[in-house]
Amino acid sequence: RWPSLLKYYSHSDGVSWLEEYKARHNAGLEAQRIVASFSKRFFSEHVPCDGFSDIETLGCPSHFFEDELMCILNMEGRKGLTWKYYAKKILYFLRQQNILKNLKEYLQRPTERQSFLEGAVLIDQYCNPLSDICLKSVQAQVDDITDKVRKVLRTKNPRHPSLASKAGEVLIPEVELQRQVLDAMNCVLYEQLKYKGNELDYYNSLNSYIHQVLIRRTGIPISLSVLYLTIARQLGVKLEPVNFPSHFLLRWCQGKEGSTDIFDYTYIDAFGKGKQLTVKECEYLIGHHVTEEFYGVVTSKEVLQRMVGNLLNLGKRESTDQSYQLLRDSLDLYLAMYPDNVQHLMLQARLYFHLGIWPEKVLDILQHIQALDPSQHGAVGYLVQHTLEHIERRKEELGPEVKHRSDEKHKEVCFSIGLIMKHKRYGYNCVIYGWDPACMMGHEWIRNMNVHSLPHGPHQPFYNVLVEDGSCRYAAQENLEYNSEPREIPHPDIGRYFSEFTGIHYLANTELEIRYPEDLELTRATVQKIYSSGKE
């Protein structure tokens, strides 16, 4: 019944299976109770940071609880969308908390025990907590590449020390033997397996995730360098990471070990098919001269800092992701490594403030910033004032606004909740999850969106829609039409508002139906009229 739990047991364990069954059954009931409560508690706002407090104090084994959440997520069909939505949020939170603990434990280890590959996996896991990523499986794939390199080495030099059973535990001292390893690596990685730097889609976040680098066989300089360095070390060649500006490199010592002379090293560009560079060629690579300090070796923590910094910059660029999830995740990672960095703390506070979420946490962050750097009092004071106003407004909210179609002021509203629509001008597919009898946005938005150029201007119904590209928009009635080929809308928030997709339209969940009590009947009647008659 629960095959995914087999990994938690060994054949030698003396287990009372009846007790295990009861524990798993009870964990399932507890998970269902919590998931069911989330829609009612958090429909009108993001799940607050203290919203997970009852999960943190679970009275059941966490792996049983997680397993039930996975069962909910894997439910077949198009039903249970709201349960899946909140199960995903809870699972995301639980796994990220666990990964953060693992990252902090990793950072506390002595430097020599901090594997670059493990660090890259931790970053990957945190940004993709619902994917099945584990160090063991990533390491197995790297080992497979290493075995292929050994096969190539064996044809060139059957007595090479890297072919010994304990190779990797002892570094190879002779430069010529090291060169043979690197040549074999370049042959396997770039000629046989066709790994390459992703020049065409450089700013894709997948290039930074080590499991995706292994699947897609492409990446950016730093992710390919981590892979290259790991394989080299497993074959007895010590390469070191170099935090070179704009282009991460590795260095290979040609002189006395530990030399501080930058000319005693050859520099390796894993992004450029393992090309070996001189100091002057490194400068040609980026187009300008740099000082000697940039050729120095960096620690595993500094490598992770650069990897996270890349993701932070991508998170700032991703304008289509209205939840800024990548930016939020990368900020969490950065602050786990550098908890007192004022610049990134301020960015986190501004981000939560902009999104209108977690005002209590914003106040905590601002208090921390003020203690670290009193010179920030101007920016801190502004955000504190507006955050307190946000908290007060939330307290004054009287409950959900209920919109009845029978009201005279709503008589011009033609479309209803759950209908799949198409935008006449931009052609995107979307689903309606809210409406107003007239445009409720401010004058600036109306001016910027050129609403007055529409024949009916702002004095017509406007609809809140979830769009297939993951965005949320506010569309005028005259710009929407029924979709002749209705299909599911792949939007991350679909389960927040709807419980089921019927194949033609969406069914509002309980909380949305409370706010639009007469829409469901109209949606069904509209669908019956349009699609069953074969019109459009």
* Co-location of 100 and 157 in the same domain: no
* Co-location of 286 and 433 in the same domain: no
pLDDT at 531: 78
| Rounded Cα–Cα distance for residues 300 and 517 (Å) | 57
CA torsion 141→144→146→150, rounded to 10°? Answer: 180
For residue 340 the two structure tokens come to 């007192």
* Co-location of 387 and 417 in the same domain: no
For residue 502 the two structure tokens come to 């019927």
> Considering the domain boundaries, does residue 477 fall inside one?
yes
Residue that is last in its domain, among 397, 419, 446: 397
HSE-up (13 A, CA, CB side) for residue 412: 14
> Considering the domain boundaries, does residue 259 fall inside one?
yes
User: CATH number, domain at 241?
Assistant: 3.10.620
The tens place of each residue's pLDDT in the chain, 536 residues long, gives: 778 888 888 877 788 889 989 999 999 999 999 999 888 887 766 665 556 766 767 777 888 999 999 999 998 888 999 999 999 999 998 899 999 999 999 999 999 899 999 999 999 999 999 998 999 999 999 999 999 999 999 999 999 999 886 656 678 889 999 999 999 999 999 999 999 999 999 999 999 999 999 999 999 999 999 999 999 999 999 999 999 999 999 999 988 888 899 999 999 999 999 999 999 999 999 999 889 999 999 999 999 999 999 999 999 887 555 668 899 999 999 999 999 999 999 999 999 888 888 888 899 999 999 999 999 999 999 999 999 988 888 777 767 789 999 899 999 999 999 999 999 999 999 999 999 999 999 999 999 999 999 999 999 999 999 999 988 999 999 999 999 899 999 999 999 999 999 999 999 999 999 999 999 999 999 998 887 755 44
Kindly report each contact of residues 252-256 with a partner whose C-beta sits within 8 Å and lies 24 or more positions away, as own/partner.
Answer: 252/178, 252/182, 252/276, 254/175
Q: H-type helices in 51-80, by residue range?
A: 53-56, 62-73
Domain that holds residue 512: 408-530
* Co-location of 492 and 357 in the same domain: no
- Taking alpha carbons only, the member of 414, 412, 410, 428 closest to residue 529 is 414
> Considering the domain boundaries, does residue 366 fall inside one?
yes
> pTM for this structure?
0.88
* Co-location of 75 and 167 in the same domain: no
Question: Edge-to-edge strand order for the sheet containing 275-277?
Answer: 239-242, 249-253, 265-269, 275-277
* Co-location of 296 and 180 in the same domain: yes
DSSP state of 78: S
* Co-location of 200 and 282 in the same domain: yes
Q: Please report how the helices 300-317 and 221-234 are oriented relative to each other, as an axis angle in degrees rounded to 10.
A: 150
* Co-location of 278 and 152 in the same domain: yes
Residue that is last in its domain, among 282, 304, 326: 304
Residue that is last in its domain, among 304, 331, 365: 304
> Considering the domain boundaries, does residue 311 fall inside one?
no
> Considering the domain boundaries, does residue 120 fall inside one?
no
* Co-location of 223 and 297 in the same domain: yes
| Rounded Cα–Cα distance for residues 496 and 509 (Å) | 8
> Considering the domain boundaries, does residue 316 fall inside one?
no
Burial 432-454 (b: 16+ CB within 10 A, else e): bbbbbbebeeeeeeeeebebeeb
- Taking alpha carbons only, the member of 524, 529, 504, 503 closest to residue 513 is 524
pLDDT at 535: 43
Is residue 483 a contact partner of residue 70, using CB atoms and an 8 Å limit? no
> Considering the domain boundaries, does residue 317 fall inside one?
no
| Rounded Cα–Cα distance for residues 171 and 237 (Å) | 6
* Co-location of 99 and 161 in the same domain: no
pLDDT at 1: 74
pLDDT at 17: 87
Is residue 163 a contact partner of residue 150, using CB atoms and an 8 Å limit? yes
Domain count, the chain: 4
Q: Dihedral sign, CA of 356, 360, 366, 368? A: negative
Bridge partners, residue 436, by sequence:
462
| Rounded Cα–Cα distance for residues 496 and 86 (Å) | 8
> Considering the domain boundaries, does residue 122 fall inside one?
no
User: CATH number, domain at 448?
Assistant: 2.30.30.390
Is residue 476 a contact partner of residue 462, using CB atoms and an 8 Å limit? yes
Is residue 112 a contact partner of residue 100, using CB atoms and an 8 Å limit? no
* Co-location of 76 and 24 in the same domain: yes
| Rounded Cα–Cα distance for residues 51 and 55 (Å) | 9
* Co-location of 424 and 380 in the same domain: no
| Rounded Cα–Cα distance for residues 395 and 414 (Å) | 34
